[in-house]
A and B are shown apart, each in its own frame.
Chain A
Amino acid sequence: MTKLEYPRIGETMYHEVLENGLNIFVSPKPDYGKSYAFFATNYGGMDMRFELDGCRHDTPAGVAHFLEHKMFDTKDGNALQDLAANGASPNAFTSNAITGYYFESTEKFEENLRVLLSFVSVPWFTKESVDKEQGIIAQEIRMIEDNPDWRVFMNMMAGLYKNHPVRTSVAGTVESISHITADTLYACHKAFYDPANMVLCVAGNVDAQQVCRIAREILGPQSGLEVKRDYGEEEPACAAQSRVEVNMEVSTPIFQIAYKGDPVPEGPDTLRAQLLGELAMEALAGHSSPLYARLYEQGLVNSEFVCGCELYPGCLFLYAGGESRDPDAVAQLLKEEAEQIARVGIDEELWVRLKKAAYGSRVRALNSFENICVGQAQSFFSGADALTFPEAFDSIQRQDAQRLIADWVTDQRTTISVVRPKEGAK
């Protein structure tokens, strides 16, 4: 076991790799009452096509999410109830790139950890349970389809990407999930729920050695199967569509504007790329930027306005969005500000403040065990170490952000997605 120390931010992390390839990270927090465990696989909504044992699989959209729902079923019942009965709050999520299962508890941590590790590693699906889940997930899909924030985001992704599967909804559609069978689920579980493709992150008042002992005890000695992922044809540098617009039951138009960036290959640079993307957007339109003040004062955006940078294997984009009576005016002002920055650069004083603020916000975010564990898992899967952010910040210069804005915030790389109120709505 290796002890990793991060003195600048007062964090310590223990790291171990088991014989079966599972990576374990433990962040000791002796002052807390609660403990948190996060068990994740490097498998998400975008991993629909893959090759396993020489056999090609083309699975329906929504399988990873469907699998996440069904993993809680065990031969003897349901793990959700087992954990809840111990007072733990369990849950799970599926994103484009990963699926994670977690619980938080204040007592019986080791028992809960055993339950978590075993239900995620032992699949148990029947035709009846898969059929029943189709009803539940169809309801969930209908619910998110009514959600304008989700629609505006999905339309933006579809507008930005031509081929990359990140453009597909993680939950799939009512139609796509109807093709999922128990066999599909078993195949995907076999391919992606191998310990060598997974990571366990724990934070709390726990003993790191004991965590590793339990993981060894519960998880088998599976050997890493070779899975080849297929994200489709190479993605062009420009946006697939410049605009996607729909009408829904909303009161004010909501919008997302995205700028397609160049993807960063797996490795330590992914963390730097993420921070650089975030800083560039903060300089362009963040809450202390001159542009945000103008947008706000003109009543073009409100405090819901957010901007940032998202990064997945094979794709990276900058975004800004929120509510606005005139999304196109916001897009135009963003474009003009980017041109201005490309010409004259970012104000030095603003840049120093932004970095200081970004550092402080990242440190504050470590109050949350979820942030620590999910951040650690995500950065591990992408080849970086989340807790080295102070060093990554040191390496980012003002000119880097300026160049990024000049190169990426351009017409060809831009998509605007808008959800407008229906005609005649209040």
Chain B
Amino acid sequence: MNSVIQTQLMPGVQLTAVHTRKFKSSYFGVAMLVPLEKEHAAQHALLPMVLRRGSADHPDMQSVAAALDDLYGGAVEPLVTKKGETQCIGFTASFLDDAYALAGEDILTPAARLLGELLLHPYTEMGVFSQEYVRGERSNLIDRIRSAMNDKRQYSMLRLGQEMCAYEAFGVSKYGDESRAAAITPESLWERYQTLLSTARIELFYCGSAQPERVQKALMDAFADLPVNEQRLLPDCEIRITAPEQPNVVEESLDVTQGKLAMGFRTGGLSVWDEEYPALMLLNAVFGGTSMSKLFMNVRERLSLCYFASSGLEKMKGLMLVSSGIEFDKYQQARDEILAQLEACRRGEITPDELEGARRIVINSLHTTLDSQSRMADYWLGQAAADLTETPEQLAQRLEQVTAEQIAHVARSVCLDTVYFLKGKEEMG
């Protein structure tokens, strides 16, 4: 029912168009794919926020908001995300589907035009970005970098990533760091912007009721001013195979009432490109990825050691990351139990119920990707970053074949690398 068509609009500029009538909205994604690196991460993150402030034709936020209101309350949000060691920056946008416009007017074409305008024709002053916009958004970006500590669960995972991958690009936060953010000027950002416009790989996404030809034409016209370059390269991702012999343990204290225990594992180099990747997905689901996983059933339900305990994959990077919330004095017990559950997976102690349950959840999640425009956009952006074209349905088919023995096999290559523990201040001796 969903048909996916991928076309090269120009060298290094790809459009993924999903044609379907089932949504009330049309959804767009515009992303530049750039290497995640300390030096430029903050500049890259700042760029969509400054671009969103205004274009040559809609020079301030109020005129952009008015244009969006006129398109029935369309929404354009800055996109800053990371896929492996690729930083993806740009916009996502959602507009009312043409079918529901009160007077039958065309929304697709002006919506595409507005997106192209925001990305390619920013409001400028003396040939560079507006001083005021850069100052304002720079300060917002710094606030955002600092506010990472507000949500302690996310913060513990961020800190785990930084500690574990201190010497890999993955350790760089998608928003960059505060000192480099503070140093950005309208001139330096402009220069970076020019470089990205002509060198970054660009991914466009559309999902809605319009025929693919109409979408191609609308986006082609909207992005016609992109410079032509045959060398828009896709960023790489470094995969470390081995973990240190003794895991690296990091403890920090903040004034919190609940502790957070985060544990980072290396998958022994297994990643999204491997034939065994579906087995790794199911290992994660059986171990900690669902509400019937070993971590949920044992660490939370049976032993009441924590309020939550779950695991997730960084599929390009070959990492499995565990996140849990615990009482401070349950640290050792919770850590031992989490490792014991992984050990059980390694020994192949996976019941048919556990395996089938995990398989159904992962497969259903892939199927329901097709019922959500934003999830489809994120899926296809991830595939583009990994240079893969497998559809969710195809991946689901591979998952059907995985056996418990294959899961145990991949579990044996998973190795603890870093433990991060966030505890309360009273605990400090």
Contact = CB atoms under 8 A, between A and B. Distances in A.
B364 A422 contact: no
A426 B145 CA distance: 12
B61 A293 contact: yes
Given A302-B143, A356-B70, A145 B257 contact: yes
A210 interface: no
B363 A87 contact: yes
B24 A426 contact: no
Contact of B360 (A86, A149, A299, A364): A86
Interface string B36-74: 000000000000000000000000111001101111111
Interface in A101-140: 104-107, 132, 135-136, 139-140
A252 B66 contact: no
A367 B23 contact: yes
Nearest to A368: B372
A396 to B, nearest CB: 16
Contacts of B254: 249
Given A357-B72, A360-B73, A143 B325 contact: yes
A76 interface: no
A148 interface: yes
Interface string A328-364: 0000000000000000000000000110111111011
Given A297-B132, A364-B24, A139 B72 contact: no
| Size band of the interface chain A makes with B | 35 or more
Given A356-B70, A364-B24, A297 B136 contact: yes
B232 interface: no
Contacts of A81: 291-292, 297, 357
A302 B146 CA distance: 14
B147 interface: yes
B255 interface: yes
Contacts of B188: none
A251 interface: yes
A10 interface: yes
A426 B357 contact: no
Contacts of B72: 356-357, 359-361, 363
Contact of B304 (A135, A249, A356): A135
Interface string B283-314: 00000001110000100110010110000000
Contacts of B363: 87
A267 to B, nearest CB: 27
A249 B291 contact: no
Interface stretch (A28-36, A311-319, A381-389): A28-36
Contacts of A89: 361, 364-365
A297 B65 CA distance: 14
B99 A139 contact: no
Contacts of B25: 363-364, 367
Interface in B78-116: 94-96, 99-100, 102
Nearest to A147: B151
Nearest to B96: A360
Interface string B322-341: 00010100000000000000
B367 interface: yes
B364 A106 contact: yes
Given A33-B368, A249-B254, A299 B307 contact: no
B405 interface: no
Interface string A5-42: 00001100000000000000000010111100000000
A364 B94 contact: yes
Given A84-B290, A140-B307, A107 B360 contact: yes
B413 interface: no
A350 B176 CA distance: 37
Nearest to B107: A360
Given A80-B291, A87-B360, A10 B147 contact: no
B22 A29 contact: yes
B386 to A, nearest CB: 24
A204 to B, nearest CB: 9
28 contacts: A29-B22, A34-B364, A80-B292, A89-B364, A90-B291, A104-B368, A106-B367, A139-B307, A143-B258, A143-B325, A146-B257, A250-B150, A251-B147, A252-B146, A252-B147, A288-B68, A293-B60, A293-B61, A297-B132, A302-B143, A353-B69, A356-B102, A357-B73, A359-B73, A363-B100, A364-B94, A367-B24, A367-B372
Interface of A: 9-10, 29, 31-34, 78, 80-81, 84-90, 104-107, 132, 135-136, 139-140, 142-143, 145-149, 248-252, 254, 287-288, 290, 292-293, 296-297, 299, 302-303, 323, 353-354, 356-361, 363-364, 366-367, 422, 426
10 nearest A-B pairs in the assembled complex, by CB-CB distance: A360-B72, A87-B360, A357-B73, A251-B146, A288-B65, A139-B307, A360-B73, A353-B69, A31-B22, A357-B69
